Amino acid sequence: MSKQSYQGVILAAGHGSRMGPFGEEMPKPIVPICNKPLLAYQLEYMKAVGIDEVFIVIGHLGHRITQTLGDGSRFGLRIKYVEQQQRLGIAHAVGQLERHVTRPFLLMLGDIFFEIPDLRRMMEVMEEHECAAVLAVKEETDPEAVKRNFAVLLREDGTVRRVIEKPRHVPNMLKGCGLYLFDMPVFDAIRRTPRTAMRDEYELTDSIQILIDYEFAVRIAPVVDWDVNITYTRDLIDCCMHQLRKMNKHALTGEGCDIARGTELTDTVLGDRVIVRKPARLERCVVLSDVVLDDGKAHVDTVITRQTQLRGLTGLFEENTHAPA
């Protein structure tokens, strides 16, 4: 067990504009991964390492998040919500918590689905080396994955010497994963962080670099086995397929579903109260709760909501004409 007690922070204020109409219906942090909200997985990780108080920064459709998660009691946690009035970057969102956070905290970005076998290792690194920050990292095989996130460069003693946000030229394959453990000096670094010229935001990687430049120790922990930043509908499909494989299932059906005889479900997740009135074929599909399908067609690589069908591989979407009025 860790000697130090920690608080949890999840950033869940993003808009999800690249998910098309789906992003207007539901905030990304509560999209269902095999019928469980994305944030529920993150809260379970935090609970497992002894965190009992979590601050969630909300913004776009924040009321949907508070309705879904409540006060946290069903997760064995206390959840407190803080609203980010302006979306000015990750560092700005973390800075909103300075008057709430009182001790070192674990930070997760709320639109990333993680698989983390040993999260406690981050606490062990912080306590063993008395760091100001520990960055979760993953050794990638695809340089594009590093370009979409941030690169981490190390000194010979294992401390971080530089972090590069969305590098154009990949210096190595060590990727920062949107999972961090911070001590209190990070708030002073955030106050010193300028807005970036490129995105006109306050970047958390700039705050981390300020910590490094002011000679605070920043280290890494390779604790992430698998991670997906849920940006497009295909990412939601991929996460559900990953979980189905872990569960050794080819399909998952929620409560209260009514499925027409002869319907074929392959690598598909149905939410609660889904009705399929005519025999259909669904392959690599995610069907959200309360959808009614009566077209008898084949659906492949598609997220189906009550209002829209979003094709995961093409990014196209169309109105769901079979949605109930």
Question: 27-65, pLDDT tens digit by residue?
Answer: 999 999 999 999 999 999 999 999 999 999 998 889 999
Contact 289, 269 (CB under 8 A): no
pLDDT for 88 equals 87
d(CA 96, CA 37): 24
pLDDT higher than 90, residue 16: no
Q: What is the mean pLDDT of the chain?
A: 91
Task: Give the pLDDT band (50/70/90) at residue 323.
Answer: very low
Any idea which of 94-108, 199-213, 242-256, 304-318 has the lowest mean pLDDT? 304-318
Q: At what angle do helices 62-69 and 38-48 cross, to 10 degrees?
A: 50
pLDDT higher than 70, residue 315: no
Place of tokens 């979980």: 243
d(CA 299, CA 118): 37
Contact 284, 300 (CB under 8 A): yes
pLDDT for 20 equals 65
Helix, strand, or coil (residue 133)? strand
Domain ranges of the chain: 7-229, 233-319
Percent of the chain with pLDDT over 70: 91
pLDDT for 25 equals 75
d(CA 120, CA 317): 41
pLDDT tens-digit map of 92-139: 999 999 999 999 999 999 999 999 999 999 999 999 999 999 999 999
CATH 3.90.550.10, domain 7-229, yes or no: yes
211 contact partners, CB below 8 Å, separation of at least 6: 132, 133, 185, 186, 189, 218
pLDDT higher than 50, residue 325: no
Secondary structure letter of residue 210 according to DSSP: H
pLDDT for 42 equals 98
pLDDT tens-digit map of 140-194: 999 999 999 999 999 999 999 999 999 999 999 999 999 999 999 999 999 999 9
Structure tokens belonging to residue 64: 């949907």
